[in-house]
Amino acid sequence: ETGVTQTPRHLVMGMTNKKSLKCEQHLGHNAMYWYKQSAKKPLELMFVYNFKEQTENNSVPSRFSPECPNSSHLFLHLHTLQPEDSALYLCASSQDLEGRIYGYTFGSGTRLTVV
Amino acid sequence: GDSVTQMEGPVTLSEEAFLTINCTYTATGYPSLFWYVQYPGEGLQLLLKATKADDKGSNKGFEATYRKETTSFHLEKGSVQVSDSAVYFCALRSPGNQFYFGTGTSLTVIP
């Protein structure tokens, strides 16, 4: 257990479904992130939240919609996804945006398959 | 822009063999450098880091030295174990606080 918990661990959804990924941390961190991990590609930063405010959106399609109700929880709402969106979605947190001392703490990820 | 390039895998070694995974970077200014490890079915875990030139990060028998002259941060271990089988990611945090990850190198250690 790394301190960052992601649920569900696995998700299979159809292209017309709506689902949500959940991330929770009780490390007292103030910054939270969504990353997409695809095979043989660098991790892609999707969204950054700092003190519940979105500070970065890396040109992510609108079918991905993040929500950060408080500094401990982060959601990724999914709708009308495409098969190429199948990947491992990783949540991470850090003490602050700089992650200066410890870098990031990652969750175990949600393995998403779009059929 | 800033980026990280690491050797492609997969890498397969016998137990107790010497490991090197190459990582080079491109950055403006003075970045911090990291190695993360991802065990099967898990997220990434920080393995070691170095924040300035000539620093050596070390953890669990792994080492990496921040070489500014060659813009490298190669990961090494003198004697790998089966339990070291994982995917290893080199990462850079730029002075602008952006993180950049490499593509990952898969390591399999066989008994």
Q: Tell me the mean pLDDT in the region B74-88.
A: 97
Q: Which of A76, A77, A108 is nearest to A92 (CA)?
A: A108
Contact predicate A33/A92, CB 8 Å: yes
Q: How far apart are CA A83 and CA A62, in angstroms?
A: 15
Supply the DSSP string of A4-21, one letter for each residue: EEEE-SEEEE-TT-EEEE
Q: What pLDDT is attached to residue A76?
A: 97
Q: How far apart are CA B34 and CA B55, in angstroms?
A: 12
Q: How far apart are CA B76 and CA B88, in angstroms?
A: 11
C-alpha angle A2-A108-B55 in degrees, rounded to nearest 5:
60
Q: What pLDDT is attached to residue A101?
A: 55
CB within 8 Å: B44 and A90: yes
CB pairs under 8 A between A and B: 48
Contact predicate B85/B17, CB 8 Å: no
Q: Which of A39, A110, A89 is nearest to B9 (CA)?
A: A39
Question: The tokens of A55 are what?
Answer: 């500070």
Question: The tokens of B109 are what?
Answer: 């250690």
Q: Which of B55, B85, B59, B70 is nearest to B23 (CA)?
A: B70
* pLDDT tens-place string over residues A14-52: 999 999 999 999 889 989 999 999 887 888 889 999 888
* pLDDT tens-place string over residues A59-114: 899 999 999 999 899 999 999 999 999 999 999 998 877 665 567 888 989 999 99
Give the phi and the psi of residue A82 in degrees, each rounded to 5.
-110, 155
* CA-based nearest distance A107→chain B, Å: 5
C-alpha angle B24-B26-B27 in degrees, rounded to nearest 5:
130
Residues 58-77 of A with CB under 8 A from B: none
CB within 8 Å: A6 and B43: yes
CB-nearest partner of A108 from B36, B41, B93: B41
Q: How far apart are CA A111 and CA A64, in angstroms?
A: 15
Q: Lowest-confidence range among B40-44, B52-56, B94-98?
A: B94-98
Q: What pLDDT is attached to residue B103?
A: 87
Contact predicate B77/B19, CB 8 Å: yes
